[in-house]
Structure 1
């Protein structure tokens, strides 16, 4: 099969389009013909070697956590899927989605939303689950609460705005001038242009501040966070780690780190919101898999609006019964 692989850590130029052996599935896995995947910052952070303590030195590696495609074979213990099913889901760490075929654990996949293309569906799992689990599980979001999303036009942020609205919050989105209309269209009740206004100097206080781009900290946002408010961050900096530990044992404001936990149950929840029209997927650009280096380079600029999708040609495939 064709796959984008790395044989060492480094810049985008280490990504190579090669022929590799098709993965062999375990009893609880699906063999999926990948129709589309997407780029998340963790993908290029792994490629750069920033997580090498976790990912190790064994090569070649196929990166990519998000997958949408068609089941071609199921393991002997798989009960929910059959060959031919259109699914979306997550690969196991540290990836595997940047290939023609991927082995997907059954408990990390569900049926593709019927109203999404493969490219749109592949943009959902990691970013959508991060936003959902941050707000619902870590933030314990409640109807009527004031919620601020910093980085509201980004991959996680676009989902967070819509999920917060779907869960009944009053949402403020922080973004740049050019993305104000987009964030409003996603349902934000109020938008702040960070090029003109620092939200930490705002007069409004928030029950939840979700820093979807990891640019701030609890100490910087204390003034605009309610006395028992929760600051959520996706970036494990030394400061955020210390604050998370300290505030866990103290009364008052909390700082929490968001670590996405892929699972089928939450993918089903997102699927229902998507099919109900409460979430739409924002895709900035779509690249063919062979141009993954360019897609990574664009993601690294930090200027992408919503997600970056990766498409693969649709060809007829044989399925195993």
Structure 2
């Protein structure tokens, strides 16, 4: 079963393979070891994990920075199996579970908890879990959760993006960015994506009407303004982007800092432009579950496709972290678990 912090408590003595670390640091701290396999409580689902994801939040959790992340992973050293995004098969269900049955393919997230970088995990049947969209591979399903849940929360819950509005997405080729381009386009917004030269055609193919190559043009100097500026990679501050916001515009960032927290307060007191940061992993379970269902509907309607950069085996999870640490991944980096 799962605790409120997301760690899995266990019963029984069966073993499974999982990623573990005994200290915070570089990818070298990660190893794959045997740990106790979880057993589902009466209201829980046991999932055989087939694919999971390594992204910047996982790298931050591995390093233990910023420090508040240790409230979930362990104050002095990691105490939980990392990873929150998963796709796999229901292996068993508790006696009171009615929503899922053994053999069904499911995807979801354990955030703000963890435990997905393992062969098995347990979570409540009313957790952030849903049936996998038809015809998707496990890797693609995990990638949908990876950037899609964050992008959906920012665009719908925090930006409240409306049809006819304009949005600029900085970091449009990352996992959150590729999802945001597609979702914003589907919501009826006019989308401008910002990325490097190598990814211009990808971002355009996902639905961006305009693509800015940041190696040649600084979007903050063009004089163009947007209803929403979504910095999906946390590279440009509210101060730098303020003049790129139209009247009533909203700036959003995925990366926390003292600066953005201060600017959130100041922008609510002065003027009509807003600065917004949100820890989307802390959204209510019901909200995340609703977003999963919406993402599944978008996928099945052909309006959303996951972008997978590379796949690594579970034993090579440290290499996956090293690649993510380069800061140059496109879409999601998937870790496959077993066959």
TM-score category, normalised to shorter length? over 0.9
Per the normalisation by structure 1, the TM-score is 0.94
Q: Which residue of 1 aligns with 2:73?
A: 55
Q: After TM superposition, list the pairs within 5 Å mapping 1:67-216 onto structure 2.
A: 67-106=86-125, 107-216=127-236
1:300 aligns with 2:320: no
1:221 aligns with 2:241: yes
Q: Give distance in 2, aligned partners of 1:250 and 1:283.
A: 41
- Work out which of the residue numbers 290, 293, 298 in structure 2 matches 1:268: 293
Count of aligned residue pairs for this structure pair = 314
1:43 aligns with 2:49: no
Q: Give distance in 2, aligned partners of 1:117 and 1:87.
A: 11
Q: Give distance in 2, aligned partners of 1:219 and 1:274.
A: 36
CA gap of 1:288–1:220, structure 2 versus 1, over 3 A, is same
Q: Give distance in 2, aligned partners of 1:109 and 1:190.
A: 35
Q: Give distance in 1, aligned partners of 2:294 and 2:334.
A: 22
1:121-167 deviation digits (Å, cap 9, x = unpaired): 01122421110110111111111111000000001000000000000
Per the normalisation by structure 2, the TM-score is 0.89
1:19-66 deviation digits (Å, cap 9, x = unpaired): 111012233321100011111211111111112244224654210111
Q: After TM superposition, list the pairs within 5 Å mapping 1:12-51 onto structure 2.
A: 12-50=27-65, 51=69
1:251-288 deviation digits (Å, cap 9, x = unpaired): 40000003213521110000000111111111110000
Structure 1 unaligned blocks of 5 or more: 315-321
1:185-221 deviation digits (Å, cap 9, x = unpaired): 1010000000100000122210000000001122111
Q: Give distance in 1, aligned partners of 2:211 and 2:56.
A: 25
- Computed over aligned residues only, the root mean square deviation of the Cα atoms, in angstroms, reads 1.4
Q: After TM superposition, list the pairs within 5 Å mapping 1:215-294 onto structure 2.
A: 215-260=235-280, 261=283, 263-294=288-319
Q: Give distance in 2, aligned partners of 1:71 and 1:251.
A: 51
Kindly indicate whether the alpha-carbon contact (under 8 Å) linking 1:91 and 1:103 is maintained by their aligned counterparts in 2. Answer: no
CA deviation after TM superposition for structure 1 residue 305, in Å: 0.5
Q: Give distance in 1, aligned partners of 2:135 and 2:252.
A: 31
Kindly indicate whether the alpha-carbon contact (under 8 Å) linking 1:208 and 1:225 is maintained by their aligned counterparts in 2. Answer: yes
Deviates more, 1:195-204 or 1:56-65: 56-65
Kindly indicate whether the alpha-carbon contact (under 8 Å) linking 2:146 and 2:332 is maintained by their aligned counterparts in 1. Answer: no
1:63-99 deviation digits (Å, cap 9, x = unpaired): 0111000001112332211111110001243310111
Q: Which residue of 1 aligns with 2:12?
A: none
Q: Give distance in 2, aligned partners of 1:108 and 1:65.
A: 11
Q: Give distance in 1, aligned partners of 2:200 and 2:328.
A: 14
Kindly indicate whether the alpha-carbon contact (under 8 Å) linking 1:65 and 1:126 is maintained by their aligned counterparts in 2. Answer: no
CA gap of 1:249–1:80, structure 2 versus 1, over 3 A, is farther
